[in-house]
Amino acid sequence: MEAILTPYATVKPAHRRSRSVTRIGLERALLRQFARLEPGVVLDVGSKASPYKDRIPHTRYLRLDLDPRTAPDLCCDVQAIDCADAQFDALIATEVLEHILEPQRAVDEMWRVLRPGGVCIASTRFLYPYHPDPRDYYRFTWDSLAHLFRRFTQVEVIPHGNRLQAVWSLLDHGIARGILRPFNPLIARVNFERTRVPLGFVVFAKRGSQDDTEPA
């Protein structure tokens, strides 16, 4: 399996709860991938308030979270998902991987609970300040994400952001935030087709057909 490394592309952001350049670019990238999904049973991992639920085609939508206060359908660790194999048509894991101590275990569990032909859409940070929730362990690259998702038969690693936005985002904290924040939508529109300095990544990973029942 060879991972497809796709350049960043622009789509309209899902919502405006945050005006950071990183969030605007992330939502644009996520929406494009959500539009590729067919309605089915969806598991939203680390979902909290499930901010993208209305933008994800589904016939049934379940939430997984470690925090029982969010009243998830599955209250468990994504590194050991408490359900049988091949239960879901799609799995969503936005901004989760960097907070997991053993991300390979988590991705393997995502593969396990997806039905053959099912799709995982995940996102994670590359250039971003330390943000524990409750811990912040890793930053990932094209190569590390392709490796983590190697059990899937189709893997696309899609960057969002660029060098200008990376510098801007690092400045957009503390006192400077009040000054820079009004300009974020304009900076977020700067789109370089290819970049070696992304803000983060979205992964589109598809599990193989019915015959592909065991991990490689």
Q: What is the pTM of this model?
A: 0.88
Res 13 pLDDT > 60: no
User: Are 127 and 199 contacting, i.e. CB atoms less than 8 angstroms apart?
Assistant: yes
User: Are 159 and 142 contacting, i.e. CB atoms less than 8 angstroms apart?
Assistant: yes
Boundaries of domain holding 54: 4-206
Position 182 in a domain: yes
pLDDT at 201: 97
Question: pLDDT tens digit string along 51-88?
Answer: 999 999 999 999 999 999 999 999 999 999 999 999 99
Residue from 27, 51, 26, 23 nearest 184 by CA: 23
Is residue 209 very low, low, confident or very high in pLDDT (cuts 50, 70, 90)? Answer: confident
Verify cis geometry, omega within 30 degrees of 0, for the bond prior to 198: no
134: its two tokens: 């409750």
Residue from 34, 79, 33 nearest 61 by CA: 34
Position 196 in a domain: yes
Domain count, the chain: 1
Residue 101 sits in a domain whose CATH number is: 3.40.50.150
Position 29 in a domain: yes
